[in-house]
């Protein structure tokens, strides 16, 4: 859903960037924001201010994620290695950001694992679209794409800052809802990839041939 506003958001993010900002620096600062998110959640019970700051950190990470590809194209520095790093940093970032919940809510560790598996599934089928006829990374969403996942984390952080007891009593439902949205997003991306590929010639190629 939020991907529909990506073009406008990139324009905003471009104003946010300084003259010396590059795609690599954007990726780096995005990963720094991931580390700060982990710290905010880990020490949030003792320092509530960190939980209030976390949505701002998530917004900065979102800006950096929008900037890396935009700057790579504008500065003519786009490369295969850069694309690999971009995809890996996104998946690793979300894995760490949601993975910290595994240690904070031990009674719901299975829910966290299932959520992480659903995130990997969703991002895998998105990239898989590039290898199918049509050759595009899928960005369709039903509320479970990368931008929405950042929003859900931000809402969790704010709710935790207001009422930790409520969060601990309903974290299972939260994880279940987010997981469902992520899985539905992945399925929608599969459907769209196959829809685009329908009627087009498909060639299965490996380094050893067809």
Q: Give pLDDT, residue 81.
A: 82
Does residue 7 carry a pLDDT above 70?
no
Does residue 25 carry a pLDDT above 90?
no
What is the pTM for the complete model shown? 0.87
Q: Are 95 and 37 in contact (CB under 8 A)?
A: no
Q: What is the CATH number of the domain that holds 119?
A: 1.20.120.1760
Q: Give pLDDT, residue 1.
A: 54
State the average pLDDT over residues 106-124. Answer: 96
Domain-located, residue 162: yes
Domain-located, residue 206: no
Q: Give pLDDT, residue 176.
A: 97
The total domain count for the chain is: 1
Domain-located, residue 133: yes
Domain-located, residue 21: yes
Q: Give pLDDT, residue 2.
A: 47
Mean pLDDT rounded to a whole number for the chain: 87
Q: Give pLDDT, residue 151.
A: 93
Range of the domain at 99: 2-197
**Alpha-carbon 198 to chain mean position:** 28
Does residue 17 carry a pLDDT above 80?
no
Return the percentage of the chain with pLDDT > 90, whole number: 55
Concatenated DSSP letters for 16-46? HS-TT--HHHHHHHHHHHHHHHHHHHHSTTT
pLDDT tens-digit series, residues 50-89: 999 999 999 888 888 877 777 777 777 778 887 888 888 8
Q: Tell me how far apart the alpha carbons of residues 196 and 171 are, in angstroms, rounded to a whole number.
A: 38
Domain-located, residue 205: no
Domain-located, residue 169: yes
The mean-pLDDT minimum among 2-6, 15-19, 177-181, 186-190 falls in: 2-6
Q: Give pLDDT, residue 148.
A: 93
């Amino acid at each position: 859903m939020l991907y529909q506003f990506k073009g406008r958001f990139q324009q905003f993010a471009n104003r946010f960037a300084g003259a010396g900002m590059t795609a690599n620096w954007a990726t780096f600062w995005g990963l720094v924001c991931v580390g700060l998110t982990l710290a905010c959640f880990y020490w949030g019970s003792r320092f509530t201010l960190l939980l209030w700051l976390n949505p701002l950190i998530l917004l900065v990470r979102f800006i950096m994620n929008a900037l890396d590809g935009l700057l790579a194209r504008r500065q003519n520095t786009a490369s295969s290695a850069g694309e690999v790093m971009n995809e890996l940093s996104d998946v690793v970032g979300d894995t760490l950001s949601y993975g910290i919940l595994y240690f904070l809510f031990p009674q719901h560790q299975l829910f966290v694992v299932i959520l992480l598996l659903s995130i990997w599934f969703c991002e895998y089928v998105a990239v898989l679209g590039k290898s199918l006829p049509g050759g595009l990374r899928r960005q369709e969403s039903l509320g479970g794409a990368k931008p929405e996942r950042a929003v859900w984390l931000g809402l969790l952080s704010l709710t935790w800052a207001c009422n930790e007891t409520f969060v601990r009593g309903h974290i299972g439902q939260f994880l279940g809802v987010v997981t469902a949205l992520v899985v539905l997003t992945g399925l929608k991306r599969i459907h769209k990839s196959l829809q685009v590929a329908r009627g087009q010639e498909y060639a299965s190629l490996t380094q050893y041939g067809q």
